[in-house]
Amino acid sequence: MESAHTDPPVAGLAAGDQRAFAALYDRYAVRLYRAAVGMLGRREDAEDVVQEVFAAVFQSSHKLANVQNLTAYLFTALRRAAGRSAARRVREPRTGEAAIADIAAKADPDDRFSFDGERLQKALLALPAEQREVIALKIDGGLTFAETAQVIGISANTAASRYRYALERLRASLKEQCGGVTSKAATATGSKPPGTLDKGG
C-alpha cells in the first residue's frame, strides 16, 4: 500500500535517508533559529536549542511516519527545548531582528517615535510571556496563526488576539518612551515641547 505521507523530507527521514535530513535542515533551520532567539534572547542558546531539536529528530526519525504537520511538529519541539533551556538559565527574553523590522513596518505612518533596539527591547520585556511567545513564533518563526495555535495549544483566534494585543501594547509603550525622552530633552535645553503655549506676557 502506498504511504499517505507524500512529503519527501518526511518520507525520507522516516526511512533514515541522510539527504532527506539535510533537506529538512535547509528548509527549517533559519526559521527555527529566529524563533529560538525571540524566545530566549541569546544567540548561543538559540543555536543549542535548534541543534537539540534536529538531533532529536534524527535519533527518532522513525516516529515521523505518523507526523501530519511537520512544521507544527518541529516548532512544538523547539518550544519545549526552549523551555528547558530557559529553566537552566535565568534571563530576560529578547526578540530577534525580524521582529523589530516587522513591528516597525506595521506602525501607523503618523507615529513619530523611534523603533531603535533598546526601546523596543524594553517594551518587549513589559509584555506578558504569552504575548512574547506568539510574537517569536509568528514573526521570527514565520508561522501562521493556525500553526502558532497548534504549537502552543490554543485556538487560532486566541493566537491572533495575543499577537494583536502585543503589537498594540508595544506601540503604546514605544510612544510613551519617546514622549518621555522628548520631555527630558526639552527640560534640559529650556525649550518647550511642540504645541506648548507660553503663558507669559
Residue 12 shares a structural domain with residue 84? yes
Amino acid identity of residue 151, one-letter, is: V
- Domain containing 132: what range? 97-188
Residue 74 shares a structural domain with residue 113? no
Tell me the H-state helices in the chain: 8-14, 18-40, 43-59, 70-88, 97-105, 117-125, 129-135, 145-152, 156-189
Residue by residue, pLDDT tens for the chain (201 residues) are 444 444 556 777 777 778 888 888 998 999 999 999 888 877 888 999 999 999 988 888 878 878 888 899 999 999 999 988 888 765 444 555 555 555 555 554 444 344 556 677 777 777 888 888 898 898 888 899 999 999 999 999 999 999 999 888 888 888 887 765 444 444 444 544 444 444 444
**What does the pLDDT read at residue 18?**
84
In angstroms, how far is the first alpha carbon of the chain from the final one? 93
Number of H helices, E strands in the chain: 9, 0
Amino acid identity of residue 170, one-letter, is: L
User: Percent helix, strand, coil in the chain (nearest 5)?
Assistant: 70, 0, 30
Distance of CA 52 to the CA centre of its chain: 18
**What contacts 133, CB < 8 A, 6 or more positions away?**
39, 79, 152
Domain-ending residue, one of 88, 106, 125? 88
Residue 60 shares a structural domain with residue 77? yes
Domain count, the chain: 2
Residue 39 shares a structural domain with residue 67? yes
Domain-ending residue, one of 53, 69, 88? 88
- The residue with cell 544567540 is 43
In a domain, 3, yes or no: no
Residue 115 shares a structural domain with residue 180? yes
Cα angle value 20/21/24 (rounded, 5°): 85
In a domain, 130, yes or no: yes
- What is the CATH classification number for the domain harbouring 118? 1.10.10.10
Domain-ending residue, one of 57, 88, 119? 88
Q: State how far the Cα of 93 lies from the Cα of 128, in Å rounded to an integer.
A: 11
Residue 76 shares a structural domain with residue 107? no
- What is the CATH classification number for the domain harbouring 16? 1.10.1740.10
